[in-house]
A and B are shown apart, each in its own frame.
Chain A
Amino acid sequence: MLNEVVIKTENLTKIFEEGKKREVVALREVDLEIKRGEVFGLIGPNGAGKTTLIRILVGLLTPTKGKAWVLGKNVEEDIAHIRERVTLLPQEAGIYERLTARENLVYYGGLYGIPEKELNRRADELLEIVKLKEKEHYQVKGFSGGMKRKVLVARALIIQPEIVFMDEPTTGVDTIGARVVRNLLKKLSEEENRTIILTTHDLNEVSELCDRVGILNNGELVAIGKPNELEEKYKAANLEEVFTGLITGEGVYES
């Protein structure tokens, strides 16, 4: 199923408080296609619409206009089936502090109907990968921000999803921890053909990890492509220059 489109949006628009004084257009007519096995980076300044886009794709928000399909299913009509096969790592902490690292993983996996024995096997494997095996029976409330983030990454992966939505997966994680997470995501994409959609503010991470990148600004998808293609297109030395130029409107010129 190479080149199979697993995420597609057409004219996707999200307006909060529509028709009211506090109306906010979070997404404007976004057209997007993401293929199976791709690592797709969504970048943009704060409030650009990255989280809103992800939330629509996992069915937490409904689009105001346009349509979105995940794994061939319309998010507004068949979200139950989509949710069986995708996972979300939220932007904010989102962890049960009073549970241990292992309990966090096993509890979440159980909500997908995975048998306990299998969950324990996967938890062993994932905790080993994210280097938290020694701390597996400690309550998460004593963990550092980075350790919590690693637990969340492992938790998101325990259900072995076809698509992983990660909202800033390495935020707060130390350099070595971030490297561990990146390697894990690479492995998932390259060896297991899983699709990863991640938002981040770390453009080096995007350059290193992502096959393609989409730049959102004020809810609009202003650029999409492979990092090197974008650099070429906008005559920039690196992705940071492309990003800064597109957001501020200075210093980049479309070739």
Chain B
Amino acid sequence: MDTPKIKLDSKTYWMLKKEIKSVLRSRWLLLGFIISPMFAWLFQGAFLSFIVAQTTEEPEAVYITVEDDGAIGPALFDALNASKEQLLIDPLIPVDKDYGQNLVDNKTVSVWVLIPENFTYEYMVNNESTMVMWVNTGNFRATAAAQRVDMFVKQNLQIIVKDVQVNWYTISPEATYGHQLAIFLVMLTSVLAPAPYVSKSFAGERERHTLEALLVVPMSRLKILGSKLVAGLLLTMIYSIFTIVGILSYNLSIILRAAALPAAAEDYYINLYTIDVATLPLIFFCQFLVLLCAIGIGVVISCLAKDQATAESINNLVLLVPTMVIGILGFTGSILQYGGLFGFAILLIPFSHAIMFLNGVLSGVATPTMLIGNVAYLLAFTIAFLIIGAKAFEREAIIA
């Protein structure tokens, strides 16, 4: 019945203006859109500042077993013992191999250093020797202590023709936190953020019976839907902009926290934890797609739900559950760590691709193909839902 073409005529412009005004009048909604991403990143900043403090100021217990029957192993132990304060090791506990193995088996070890029996021999004869460390990488303080031990051993034993290897083993391979916390929080808030606006704009208008009067104006439903979506997009832009502000605040918090550290440590932590500003456009883009996708899903739900409260509840449920699942998976390692049907189901969730995109960008390991693939999936999903939403909005039952 309606002409399915979108042209910005005076009526559409008028409607758009009103929708945008209506969005800007929702002060609490706007406040939420400003606070949520800022909070997520500031929380991440506080979290990593805590880690920096743990890894640079607080000592850790290190267990050590010297099985070496030569001279270098005991000398290394003495050197470590003498530099305990500098290496933030307290206490350095000598244990036998069985005791150390038992700690590993029980997952109660922080750091266990094993200098094997032929350490000196290998070092002298083959110019290469290997020391072994078991580390609880889920414990930031333990990981930092192990790194200091690693560096100390190499500094003391690596001379031009001789090499020493330190083999690391982790007792908790899944615990690699990185930037996952903020990604999780931002993802969670961004998929839920448009829900109040979308629900109010469609199911809410129907519930208040304003939709009926709106649908008899001489504008196609597609234009009405488009105007509402553009206003929704404006909200998402506000959210995305404040995500960028949040990231910059986060970077600043890390820089300020690391400023008190020695120059080498300062550089190390700043490089490790701050987000490369060059990646911000990609993060903005990904955030924008996530919000757009959430709006697309929200429109469909809102057009089908009987009232605003139902629409909001279903929207939250539909978006919250998969986001929690992939957020938790991402937080405890990688969302790609599971295979089979479960792994496939995870990949069907559009927000999984946003997390993969963000992880790839933040860690700097993403290939263009991978990024394009993730964006394409997210975009296809969004377009599909917007089309379904447009169809649902066209139904006559929308006002019934």
Q: Residues on A close to B: CB < 8 A?
A: 16, 55, 58-62, 76, 79-80, 83-84, 86-98, 107-108, 110-113, 155
Q: Would you call B2 an interface residue if the criterion is a C-beta within 8 Å of the partner chain's C-beta atoms?
A: yes
Name A61's closest neighbour in chain B (CB-CB). Answer: B396
- The stretch of B158-166, B204-212, B349-357, B378-386 that contacts the partner chain: B204-212
Contact B209 A80 (CB under 8 A): no
The reply to whether B3 and A80 contact each other, CB–CB distance below 8 Å, is yes
A residues near B222, Cβ cutoff 8 Å: none
Distance, CA A79 to CA B208, complexed state (A): 24
Q: What residues on A are CB-neighbors of B213 within 8 Å?
A: 88-90, 94, 108, 155
Residues of A within 8 A of B212 (CB): 60, 88, 90, 92, 94
B210–A59 touching, CB < 8 Å: no
A58 to B212, CA, bound (A): 10
CA distance A15 to B3 in the complex (A): 25
Q: Is B7 an interface residue (CB 8 A)?
A: no
Q: Which residue of A lies closest to B13 (CB)?
A: A110
Measured in the bound complex, the distance between the Cα atoms of B218 and A92 in whole Å is: 21
**B216→A88 contact, CB < 8 A:** yes
Asked if B1 and A62 sit within 8 Å, CB to CB, the answer is: yes
Query: Which of these, B2, B10, B208, contacts A80 with CB under 8 Å?
Result: B2
| Closest A residue to B12 using CB positions | A111
- In the complex formed, the residue of B with least CB distance to A91 is B209
List the A side residues contacting B220 at CB < 8 Å: 80
Instruction: Assess whether B233 is interfacial by the CB under 8 Å rule.
Output: no
Q: Give the shortest distance, in Å, between B391 (CB) and chain A (any CB).
A: 15
Residue B400 contacts which of A16, A89, A113 (CB distance < 8 angstroms)?
A16
B107 contacts partner chain A, Cβ-Cβ < 8 Å: no
Q: A16 to B15: give the CA distance in the assembly, Å.
A: 31
Task: Flag whether B18 is at the interface (Cβ < 8 A).
Answer: yes
Q: Tell me the bound Cα distance from A147 to B212 in angstroms.
A: 20
Find out whether the CB atom of B209 lies under 8 angstroms from the CB atom of A108: no
B186-210 interface with A by 8 A CB criterion: 208-210
- Is B9 interfacial (CB 8 A cutoff)? yes
Q: Which residues in B have their C-beta under 8 angstroms from that of A110?
A: 10-11, 14-15, 18
Residues of A within 8 A of B25 (CB): 98
Q: Name the residue of chain B whose CB is nearest to the CB of A90.
A: B212
Among candidates B9, B10, B396, residue contacting A60 with C-beta atoms closer than 8 Å:
B396
**Could you mark each residue 363-400 of chain B with 1 if its beta carbon is under 8 Å from any beta carbon of chain A, else 0?**
00000000000000000000000000000000010011
- In this assembly, does B108 line the interface, its C-beta being within 8 Å of a C-beta of chain A? no
CA distance A236 to B218 in the complex (A): 43
> Nearest CB to that of B210 among chain A residues?
A94
For A59, the chain B residues whose CB sits under 8 A away are 1, 216
30 pairs across A/B with beta carbons < 8 Å?
Answer: A59-B1, A59-B216, A60-B215, A60-B216, A62-B1, A62-B396, A76-B1, A79-B1, A79-B2, A80-B218, A83-B216, A83-B217, A83-B218, A88-B216, A89-B213, A90-B209, A90-B212, A91-B209, A94-B208, A94-B210, A94-B213, A98-B25, A108-B217, A110-B18, A111-B214, A111-B217, A111-B218, A113-B9, A113-B218, A155-B213
For residue B219, CB closer than 8 A to chain A, the reply is: yes
Q: Residue-by-residue, is B10-32 near A (CB-CB < 8 Å gives 1, otherwise 0)? A: 11001100100010010000000
User: Which residues of chain B from 250 to 291 have any CB-CB distance to chain A below 8 Å in the complex?
Assistant: none
Contact A111 B15 (CB under 8 A): yes
**Contact status B217-A92, CB under 8 Å:** no
A59 to B60, CA, bound (A): 75
For A88, the chain B residues whose CB sits under 8 A away are 212-213, 216
Give the most central of B1, B213, B220: most A CB within 10 Å.
B213
- The reply to whether B399 and A60 form a contact with Cβ atoms under 8 Å apart is yes
Instruction: Say yes or no: A87-B216 contact (C-beta < 8 A), given A62-B396, A110-B14.
Output: yes
Task: Report the nearest B residue to A87, measured CB to CB.
Answer: B216
- CB-CB < 8 A to A58: which residues of B? 216
Q: Which residue of B lies closest to A156 (CB)?
A: B213
A65 CB, nearest partner CB in chain B, Å: 15
Residues of B within 8 A of A98 (CB): 22, 25
Task: Provide the bound-state CA to CA distance between A96 and B214, in Å.
Answer: 11
From A111, which residue of chain B is reached at the shortest CB distance?
Answer: B217
Q: How far is A96 from B18 in the complex, measured between Cα atoms in Å? A: 11
State the CA gap A108–B9 with chains docked (Å): 15
Q: How far is the CA of A86 from the CA of B22 in the complex (A)?
A: 26
Of chain B, the residue at the smallest CB distance from A52 is B400
Check B2 against A93 for contact (C-beta < 8 Å). Answer: no
Contact of A94 among B9, B209, B400 (CB under 8 A): B209
